[in-house]
Chains A and B, each alone.
Chain A
Amino acid sequence: MRSLKRFFTRMFNLAASRTHDQRIREEIEEHIALQTEENLRAGLPPAEARRQAILKFGAVESVKENYRAEGGLPWIETLLQDVRFSLRLLRKSPGFTIVAVITLALAIGANAVVFAVMNALILHPLNLPEEQSLYAIQHGSDNDPGESYPDYLDLRDRNRSFDDLAAYSIGQAGLDTGDNASAAWIYEVSGNYFDVLRIQPYLGRFFHGSDEHGPNSAPYIVLAYDYWHSHFHDDRQVVGRSVLLNRHPFTILGVAPPEFHGTIVFLSPDVFVPMVNLEQVGGVGNVINDRARHWIHLAMGHLKEGVTQAQAITDLNSIGAYLEKNYPQSDSQMTFSLSRPGLLGDALGRPVRAFMTGLLLLAGLILLAACANLGSLFAARAAERSREVALRLALGSSRKRIVRQLLTEAVLISLMGGGIGLWGSTGLLRGLSAWYPTPKYPFHLPVHADANVYAVALILALASGFFFGVVPVRQILRTNPWEVIKLGSSGRVGRRITARDLLLVAQVAICAVLVTSSMVAVRGMVRSLHSSFGFDPQNVMLADTNLSMAGYSNEKIPAMQKRMIDALETIPGVESVGLIDRSPLSGDLSGDLVFSDKTTDLRPANAAALCLIYRISPEYFRAAGTTLLSGKSFTWHDDQDVPRMAVVNHELARRVFGSVADALGGHYKLPDGTRIEVVGIVEDGKYSTLAKDQEPTMFFPILQSPSSKTYLVVRSNRDPQRLADAIRSKLRALDAGLPFFIQTWNQQLEGVALFPSRMATISLGVLGVMGAMLVVTGIFGMAAHSVSKRLKELGIRIALGAQRAGVLRAALGRAFTLLAVGSIAGLILGIMASRVLAFIVYQATPRDPVVFAGVVVAMAFLGLLATWIPARRALRVDPLILLREE
């Protein structure tokens, strides 16, 4: 208590910079005067009396110093002194300071971002109460989290390990709140969903297991907070209101709490709907009682108290065995395991975790390398200051004090770097949080810099400050003031290859690899934008809708689709309008096995090919710009009344029939035995991904093979914005309750098909910048060190008439050798790595003179940048000054 009180008094004195100087001076004076008087009384002469008094008092300065030390907090005062001195030093060498601060800002910022994402994805994914006992169940060797509804019911009712089991599935539905209908992302959830997750409504109430009484019995919805905020403007009166979901009336029961974003980390729903109403909102017909349809994305629940994971798995497996025995045609591989629910179980969780761990490791390595480089920069600085250090030592400063100042300087730099890095990373994280990578899907990663992130950044900054600040300490401790002042800083020049050199070469090589591969990726991207897709995405607008969202029944769908096509064709400037059920390269695929006409045993093993299916309107090929190689497209008369037909691509014709000529007019079979006549053959195209060539594909007339999914392909030279407006008003006029999404075909390609290559390019670019920064600091440190060590030698060379080139070669030759060795190694490795890159980025090839030249230029530029300051210093060496100083 006492010492605490004293600490606060001292802190106060320090803060108020109140010193007791005046008081102690007066007290000393008073003391000596009194003692003098006493001495006088004892008979000493006046001068001697005062002298004796002063002698008896002792060393005035030391008393004052002790007094001051008692009054304030000496270590803080020393620290402030060191900080002030360090700041002055740093201001005097802005080049060094800027390089060091930027390096640390990038390295610490990278770590903070990676940690924040890890924090959001893995450490605290869902923010649910008692999350530690919440487990998702998954089955089979591939950890499939999907279940069918009947299986889920059996698991829920028969297990003895979970308090209760909830399930959810993600879908899209048309939500009509009175004005325009819009497509909303919905979670179809089990009635007990909110109760299992143990969350309370923000407003109104949630639905419960007791609200379910069989199919379509619970017409209730719960709004997500964000959706309520953006679409209902925080209106508290919404509870009890009726809205239309796919044209079926539903009652709003309540609003979920703001911190709840559903049970998968990166896809927040707008609305929660009981899954017993799947038939109304799912748009997929009645699959709820189908044991073979695993449309539930994930089932999860809290383990009962005292039940271990192993016990729960045994329990689930016994239910699995029961299911396999009773439903052999639909249930297989029913062995269970548990995982965390936030990332769809292990199916997604494991790769994400592995990826994040890798990233964290990489970020850590970057920071480590940055620290090593800054350490050598610091050593160079300490060598330059050896004279000053020697002088201070000679004047009686303690080595501890000098080391403390050096460390203060290092920590100051690292704190500045950390601060800037954190500032940058919160900006980046804010961008990441607000980033919707694909305009159509609500993929979204809510990451925020919370206290954990700040703490990690601070710790990293302090740790790295100490780490690289410690490098020159040995040098200081060994300093012998006599030697330094007598001889000047030592001129020993190491010729052998040190660990530091190898580290530097490795960094240069890694940087060159990154530069090479990001250039390869960029070139590949550019090339793939101009390659042939089998359709022409230029000047095409896609309007995407699903008629089931507006409650169209199967018999009404074809007529409505025809009406939409006709309506859009009347827009001035529109060349053609086609329709396809899912657009190529959108990631949405459907496929089936096909058999040659002669095959009678339609077992999967006998199939001729696995083949993609698209359902199109007769004008699709014209609108999409797909070339018809032979035959013809369909007409609007090719409906259910005429024999089944298809247009196939060149690849299917080749695989099933052997040649185009044989295919036209020929027949093939589907797994159910249906015979299909080939009426036309089109060119091959890109369907599932850009990297896949020649996938067999068939196109069915939409009238023979109906689908409620509708992509309207509108080809026109008009301004996209105006065209989109025109399409919107035409479709609104047809049905105001139909939600749709309009974008250009190129936008869609960028969002989906080119997304992986774009991501790869961006991340390689970011890593490349990091690598470049390491190379710059590394070479800068090395060159600065070698210049300052050889200053005297350089001075003598200049005095003897060396040319500038010669001086530079002597000063920086080693740095450039290392750079060249590293760059060449990196270029070779990079070219090898590009083979891997070709899997992600379509048409990535390193055999490209532009890439080669680009890498050489980039590395040379980095070298120049890094050696600029040391080179100028080497050239500015004035032999006269040097000689005078030594």
Chain B
Amino acid sequence: MKKKKDVLQGTLALMVLKTLDVLGPLHGFGIARRIEQISGDLLAVNQGTLYPVLLKLEQEGAIASEWGASENNRRARFYRLTRTGRKQLQLESRDWNQTAAIIDRFFAAKAEDLP
């Protein structure tokens, strides 16, 4: 159970970093909506799980946050990517791509493909 949560948290963190990279500074709701739009039902329920991930990323120094005003002038906390975060994103997306490629090939391989 713990393992599954870790995986979810890991992918969630990567999504957060990518979102901030693409869209620039954003508040929590914005990030959640963006992830929902792209990933479908991963965050359809339990949007709240995003917040512990944000705190963790912030403590690691990958993102920074400050209070600001949202589009309709409410007080909101805005998150932005830091330099460390950008580096981390590059590194992790490369890792991810590699892993995904390997797993892809692995799943695609059939018994008769093997020499």
Which residues of A come within 8 Å of B, CB atoms? 2-3, 5-6, 9-10, 20, 23-24, 26-28, 30-31, 33-35, 37-38, 55-60, 62-63, 66-67, 69-71
Q: What are the residues of chain B within 8 A of A23 when measuring CB–CB? A: 77
Docked Cα-Cα span, A256 to B42, in Å, equals 78
Q: Judge whether B14 is part of the interface by a CB distance below 8 angstroms.
A: no
Docked Cα-Cα span, A59 to B76, in Å, equals 21
Once the chains bind, are B55 and A67 in contact (CB under 8 Å)? Answer: yes
Q: What are the residues of chain B within 8 A of A71 when measuring CB–CB? A: 55, 59
Residues 26-70 of B, flagged 1 when their CB comes within 8 A of A and 0 if not, give 011100110000000000111111011001100111000000001
Once the chains bind, are B60 and A6 in contact (CB under 8 Å)? Answer: yes
Q: What are the residues of chain B within 8 A of A58 when measuring CB–CB? A: 45-49
Docked Cα-Cα span, A2 to B85, in Å, equals 11
Asked, given contacts A2-B61, A58-B46, A70-B59, whether A30 binds B76 with beta carbons under 8 Å apart, the answer is yes
Once the chains bind, are B56 and A70 in contact (CB under 8 Å)? Answer: yes
Asked, given contacts A31-B47, A37-B72, A57-B48, whether A70 binds B28 with beta carbons under 8 Å apart, the answer is no
Docked Cα-Cα span, A776 to B75, in Å, equals 67
Q: What are the residues of chain A within 8 A of B60 when measuring CB–CB? A: 2-3, 5-6
6 example contacts (A-B, Cβ-Cβ < 8 A) are as follows: A2-B61, A23-B77, A26-B77, A31-B32, A31-B48, A66-B52
Q: What are the residues of chain B within 8 A of A3 when measuring CB–CB? A: 60
Q: Which single member of B45, B52, B61, B70 contacts A67 (CB below 8 Å)?
A: B52
Q: Judge whether B105 is part of the interface by a CB distance below 8 angstroms.
A: no
Once the chains bind, are A30 and B27 in contact (CB under 8 Å)? Answer: yes
Once the chains bind, are A6 and B70 in contact (CB under 8 Å)? Answer: no
Q: What are the residues of chain B within 8 A of A9 when measuring CB–CB? A: 59
Q: Which single member of A27, A63, A69 contacts B49 (CB below 8 Å)?
A: A63
Docked Cα-Cα span, A60 to B55, in Å, equals 16
Q: Judge whether B74 is part of the interface by a CB distance below 8 angstroms.
A: yes
Q: Which single member of A34, A60, A70 contacts B52 (CB below 8 Å)?
A: A70
Docked Cα-Cα span, A59 to B59, in Å, equals 23
Q: What are the residues of chain B within 8 A of A27 when measuring CB–CB? A: 28, 51, 77
Residues 73-105 of B, flagged 1 when their CB comes within 8 A of A and 0 if not, give 011110000000000000000000000000000
Which residues of B come within 8 Å of A, CB atoms? 27-29, 32-33, 44-49, 51-52, 55-56, 59-61, 70, 72, 74-77
Asked, given contacts A58-B47, A58-B49, A60-B48, whether A30 binds B56 with beta carbons under 8 Å apart, the answer is no
17 other A-B residue contacts (CB within 8 Å) besides A30-B75, A57-B47: A10-B59, A20-B55, A26-B77, A28-B51, A30-B27, A30-B70, A30-B74, A30-B77, A31-B29, A33-B74, A34-B27, A58-B48, A62-B48, A63-B48, A66-B49, A66-B52, A69-B52
Rank and list the top 4 A-B pairs by shortest CB-CB distance, nearest first. A63-B48, A58-B46, A34-B29, A66-B52
Q: What are the residues of chain B within 8 A of A60 when measuring CB–CB? A: 48
Q: What are the residues of chain A within 8 A of B59 when measuring CB–CB? A: 5-6, 9-10, 70-71
Asked, given contacts A6-B59, A70-B56, A70-B59, whether A59 binds B29 with beta carbons under 8 Å apart, the answer is no
Once the chains bind, are B61 and A31 in contact (CB under 8 Å)? Answer: no
Min CB–CB distance B33 → chain A (angstroms)? 8
Docked Cα-Cα span, A62 to B49, in Å, equals 9
Once the chains bind, are A63 and B56 in contact (CB under 8 Å)? Answer: no
Q: What are the residues of chain B within 8 A of A56 when measuring CB–CB? A: 44-45, 47
Q: What are the residues of chain A within 8 A of B33 when measuring CB–CB? A: 38
Once the chains bind, are B55 and A70 in contact (CB under 8 Å)? Answer: yes
Once the chains bind, are B75 and A26 in contact (CB under 8 Å)? Answer: yes
Closest to B47 in A: A57
Q: Which single member of B32, B61, B74 contacts A5 (CB below 8 Å)?
A: B61
Docked Cα-Cα span, A3 to B61, in Å, equals 10
Closest to A7 in B: B59
Docked Cα-Cα span, A30 to B27, in Å, equals 9
Asked, given contacts A23-B77, A56-B45, A58-B45, whether A30 binds B29 with beta carbons under 8 Å apart, the answer is yes
Q: What are the residues of chain B within 8 A of A38 when measuring CB–CB? A: 33
Q: Which single member of B51, B70, B77 contacts A63 (CB below 8 Å)?
A: B51
Docked Cα-Cα span, A234 to B59, in Å, equals 58
Docked Cα-Cα span, A37 to B73, in Å, equals 13
Once the chains bind, are A31 and B28 in contact (CB under 8 Å)? Answer: yes
Q: Which single member of A2, A34, A57, A66 contacts B70 (CB below 8 Å)?
A: A34
Docked Cα-Cα span, A35 to B27, in Å, equals 12
Docked Cα-Cα span, A62 to B5, in Å, equals 14
Docked Cα-Cα span, A5 to B60, in Å, equals 7
Q: What are the residues of chain A within 8 A of B75 when measuring CB–CB? A: 26, 30
Once the chains bind, are A67 and B29 in contact (CB under 8 Å)? Answer: no
Asked, given contacts A5-B61, A27-B51, whether A35 binds B29 with beta carbons under 8 Å apart, the answer is yes
Asked, given contacts A31-B32, A56-B44, whether A67 binds B76 with beta carbons under 8 Å apart, the answer is no
Q: What are the residues of chain A within 8 A of B55 when measuring CB–CB? A: 20, 67, 70-71
Closest to A13 in B: B59
Once the chains bind, are B74 and A63 in contact (CB under 8 Å)? Answer: no
Min CB–CB distance A566 → chain B (angstroms)? 93
Q: What are the residues of chain B within 8 A of A10 when measuring CB–CB? A: 59
